[in-house]
Structure 1
Amino acid sequence: MNKGAKRTMPDDRIAVVGAGIVGRSIALALAARGQRVVLIDAADDRAAPSWGNAGHIATEQVAPIASWATIRSMPKRLFWRGGPVGLPIAQIATWLPFAARLVAASGPKRFAAGQAALAAMLAQAMPAWERLAHAIGRRDLLREDGHLIAWESAASAAAGRAHWGTADTGTARLGEASADDLARLRALSPGVVDAVRFTGTGQIADLTALADALDAALAAAGVERLHRHATLERHGRRIVVEGVAATRVVIAAGVGSAALMAAAGHAAVPLIAERGYHLRGDADGWPADLPPVVFEDRSIIVTRYADQVQVAGFVEFGRADAPPDPRKSERLCAHVTALRLPIAGPFRRWMGARPTLPDYLPAIGRSTRADNLYYAFGHQHLGLTLGPITGEWVAALMLGDAPVPAAFDVERF
């Protein structure tokens, strides 16, 4: 048994519903402390955002997106005007109520409180990643080389530098790109005129290898895996997963969490699918040691994974089950062409739904409506970044060691 583990009764078992990076991290953290865990997930194809994201450990993203700055900039950022934000008119019934809640969450007091809560959590994100990478025996998958932000005009560079120079970036630090950085960026995209480099951020070197390593660690820790849909039943003040013997339940099912929470008595969780798109191509012309690059004029991020390069972008609010919008993938292709990036096709296209709450804080805590229910979802763009620290927090909460800050309580809605 690992140091700090607590013994459990023979019939005590925890069901974790959802096997993205958050669910896997929770299951591993609990198992490391001597808990019996069963991990339940309907899909086994790794199609969730955990395995299709930009791979960026974004410790610099301290300011919640729910802000007056976001609202003021929204008109020029809409997709139909060439921007990265999609609000499909056919899905207005889904995103309009969410947008109203986002506006309500963007006031100065709520923004400041959210920023403080998010900053405190993000400050623990990289150390938690270091512990997890060590625990699964794949420290090589965690790169702490920061990331680059590049601009294609002097005007956008000036605006970008002004923004980042005054922004709260937590433990991440803004610095100048080196001459070598600039030379390498211009070799990849001749239109780059300026760039900066962040330190204190990181990258997962290969998301597929990470998933494999986590699965191996889960198996070694004795975590049972069930590939099935989880159906919750309410028995008085307790929640039962149909067909699964478990005394406690954790909901960490991404965009599917709202329906599960409703079944458990939390009927008004305002979770939306914030959909992102990416392309992957062969990486023969992309330096293996280059950290993620944000081309800020185009709101895209480019990351190399093993022998592939991924281009990711767009924020599209709507239903998780709506078909992908091919125009988003076509525009990503156009960005690759315009930037003259050395990414070889044919491109592989993907779309995934980030689970997002209106104030852009995750929901992490213990239910007030069911005695044996816990939850961790709504991590928006920060699921990969905050997965390991979320796992540690939930394990500490369930074992009575430490509460989760009240800012993340789902009852705030």
Structure 2
Amino acid sequence: MASVYGITHGMRNHSVEAPRTILVIGGGVIGLSCALALQRLGSAVTLVEASAATRAASWGNAGHIATEQAEPIASPRMVRSAARRLFLRGGALALPPGQIAHWLPFALRLTRAAAPARFEQGRTALSGLLAQAMPAWRRYVADIGAPDLLREDGHIVVWETPESAAAGLAAWRAADIGTTRFTPLAEGELSALRHHIAAPLAGGIRFIGSGQVADPGRLASTVRAAFLAAGGTERIATVTAIDAGSATLADGTRLTADRVVLAAGTGSAALLRPHGVKVPIIAERGYHLQSPPGIDWPADLPPVVFEDRSMIVTRFESGLRAASFVEFAGHAAAPDPRKWARLRGHAAALGLPMADAESWMGARPTLPDYLPAIGAAAGILCAFGHNHLGLTLAPITAEAIAALASGTTPPVDLTRLAPDRFGRRL
């Protein structure tokens, strides 16, 4: 079998005939990657996306391939520390009072998912995905003919006080960091970084085994171009209903196919609800600022996490991006300008060249156990709910979906990632 950017890797079954036609609902990084992988099976793939603009969380993230995040965020440690991480106390966790109807039920489910036994089960499942994430990324960029989109230079974490440096280092030493490792920053590395940072730096570590994309915008355009060049069809439309073999658009048009793949992010729950599948997804919103190109920041510096400020700064080809915040709300809720104001304050305090930065807000699709939904439900192939790890897990998710569509064994164990694991509403 020809390689579908490596989806034959880890498959043990003989392939059955691939579906002749497939609809993929959702054009973020997960949906677009799935469409490309399914197309490589020989299927005729139609990608349906609500907007041609790349404004989704898929393209507004920090560009970090976070292979070190092997522990689900729904953890005992996160629950214990939630109060001190609140936005009103200077942290990154925002629970807007006006959105309590959205986040309170979700928070209660998250607390249950963070129980030690369930957390350990989740860690096993997530570790299996992340162990394959970087190899899948290498296959992915090779397949689209753009290996330079992947930078495997790790990332840096820094602290601004001796106290936070000691506490942060201890926390990372106790954490499960998957296939990555880290080393303390040498004094020479810290000195070089201080040249670009106005605030004091008391210490830091460099991760090895993580990475970044060179530019999210170029990633989006390159993958879409590869998909279209190979005969894929893209349709800009809103999907109002789906089943195992069709999708209904807002104008009443009904598209049919042999299989349907649902990768609609926060919109996935509403499309599954008529089939009795309960998906307690929430819009976990993040904010960023991005400078224009040509700023004074080293082009070869990997992402830098300012852990005291819960902020990550990444140099892209298109400029410097500072990202932060975990805000639980409804997808349609208005952005909170205070988040951008705080980001601008952090940027000014650090001396970052972001005076002319543009602001952005997007919604990460998040499930209470902080695991994605990958698998079949009501006859529909699902790939959504990747929270902070959508970019990281896009290629391996696409390989798994292509395997399911072709009747072969996925390269990772999907048992605990079932889309209907939260029960069915009958």
TM-score, with length taken from structure 2 = 0.92
| Mapped pair 1:332 → 2:356 | no
Looking at structure 2, the residues matched to 334 and 233 of structure 1 have their Cα atoms a distance apart, in angstroms, of 45
Q: 1:249 to 1:150 in 2, by over 3 A?
A: same
- Counterpart residue number, 2:235: 226
CA distance in 1, matches of 2:51, 2:113: 33
* 2:67 corresponds to 1:56: no
Which ranges of structure 2 fall in alignment gaps of 5 or more residues?
9-14, 249-253
In structure 2, the residue matched to 1:259 is 270
> What pairs with 1:392-411 in structure 2 (closer than 5 Å)?
392-403=399-410, 404-411=413-420
Structure 1: how far apart are the matches of 2:188 and 2:225? Answer: 39
What is the match of residue 240 of structure 1? 246
**Match for 1:355: what amino acid?**
P
CA 1:359/1:210 → structure 2, altered by over 3 Å: closer, same or farther? same
Which of 281, 298, 304 is equivalent to 1:271?
281
Residue 127 of structure 1 is matched in structure 2 by 135
Q: CA offset at residue 3 of structure 1?
A: 4.6
- 1:81 is displaced (CA, Å) by 0.9
- Displacement of 1:215 after TM fit? 1.0
Please state if 1:79 is matched with 2:79: no
Counterpart of 1:316, as a letter, is E
2:20–2:42 Cα contact (<8 Å) kept:
no
Question: Structure 1 CA distance, aligned partners of 2:164 and 2:102?
Answer: 33
Alpha-carbon distance in structure 1 between the residues aligned to 2:256 and 2:21: 7
Q: Deviations over 1:72-126 (max 9, x none)?
A: 1111110011110000000101100000000000111000010011001000000
Deviation at 1:182, TM superposition (A): 1.0
Query: Which segment is superposed worse, 174-183 or 203-212?
Result: 174-183
CA distance in 1, matches of 2:240, 2:93: 34
Matched, 1:209 2:218: yes
Taking structure 1 as reference, are residues 125 and 150 closer, same or farther at Cα in structure 2, changes over 3 Å only? same
1:110 is matched with which residue? Answer: 118
Give SS of 1:321's match.
Answer: coil
* Mapped pair 1:47 → 2:58: no
Contact 2:372 2:386 in 1 (8 A): yes
Deviations 1:213-239 (A, max 9, x none): 1011101221110110113255xxx44
In the TM superposition, 1:11-410 aligns within 5 A as 12-190=20-198, 191-234=200-243, 238-242=244-248, 243-266=254-277, 268-282=278-292, 283-341=294-352, 343-367=353-377, 370-371=378-379, 373-403=380-410, 404-410=413-419
Q: Tell me the distance in 1 between the aligned counterparts of 2:78 and 2:125.
A: 19
- The alignment covers a number of residue pairs equal to 404
The CA deviation at 1:35 is: 1.4
4+ aligned runs moved over 6 Å, structure 1: 4-7
RMSD between aligned residues? 1.6
Instruction: List per-residue Cα deviations over 1:369-401 (Å, max 9, x = no partner).
Output: x33x11010000000000000000010011111
What amino acid is aligned across from residue 214 of structure 2 in structure 1? A
Whichever residue aligns with residue 121 of structure 2, its letter is A
Is the Cα–Cα contact under 8 Å of residues 7 and 35 in structure 1 kept in the other structure?
no
CA–CA separation in structure 2 for the residues paired with 1:307 and 1:183 = 26
Listed one character per residue, the Cα deviations across residues 334-381 of structure 1 (whole Å, up to 9, x for unaligned) are: 00111122x1422200000000000000000011xx33x110100000
Contact 1:54 1:310 in 2 (8 A): yes
Q: Deviations over 1:26-53 (max 9, x none)?
A: 1111111211111110111101011110
TM-aligned CA deviation for residue 176 of structure 1 = 1.9
8 Å CA contact retained: 1:232, 1:239: no
CA distance in 1, matches of 2:318, 2:382: 36
What is the TM-score of this pair, normalised by structure 1?
0.95
Contact 1:59-1:122 within 8 A present in 2 as well: yes
Gaps of 5+ in 1: none
Aligned residue type for 1:287: P
- Separation (CA, whole Å) in 2 of partners of 1:67 and 1:208: 33
- Which secondary structure state, in structure 1, belongs to the residue aligned with residue 195 of structure 2? helix
- Letter matched to residue 315 of structure 2: R
**Would the alpha carbon gap of residues 3 and 194 (structure 1) be closer, same or farther in structure 2, given more than 3 Å must change?**
closer
**Residue by residue, what CA displacement relative to the aligned partner does 1:187-226 show, whole Å, maximum 9, x if unpaired?**
1114112110000000001111111110111012211101
Instruction: Give the 3-state SS of the residue equivalent to 1:80 in structure 2.
Output: helix
Deviation at 1:7, TM superposition (A): 8.7
Q: C-alpha separation between the residues in 1 aligned to 2:98 and 2:284?
A: 15
Q: Which amino acid aligns with 2:247?
A: V
Assess, with a 3 A threshold, how the Cα gap between structure 1 residues 197 and 395 changes in structure 2: closer, same or farther.
same
Preserved CA contact (<8 Å) 1:8 1:34: no
- Aligned-pair CA distance for 1:181: 2.4
CA distance in 2 between partners of 1:93 and 1:307 (Å): 38
Query: Structure 1's 102 and 332: CA in aligned 2 closer, same or farther, altered over 3 A?
Result: same
Pairwise CA distance, 1:265: 3.2
Please tell me whether the aligned partners of residues 284 and 307 of structure 1 are also in contact (alpha carbons under 8 angstroms).
no
| Change beyond 3 A, Cα 1:193–1:213 | same
**Kept in 2: contact 1:292–1:303 (CA 8 A):** yes
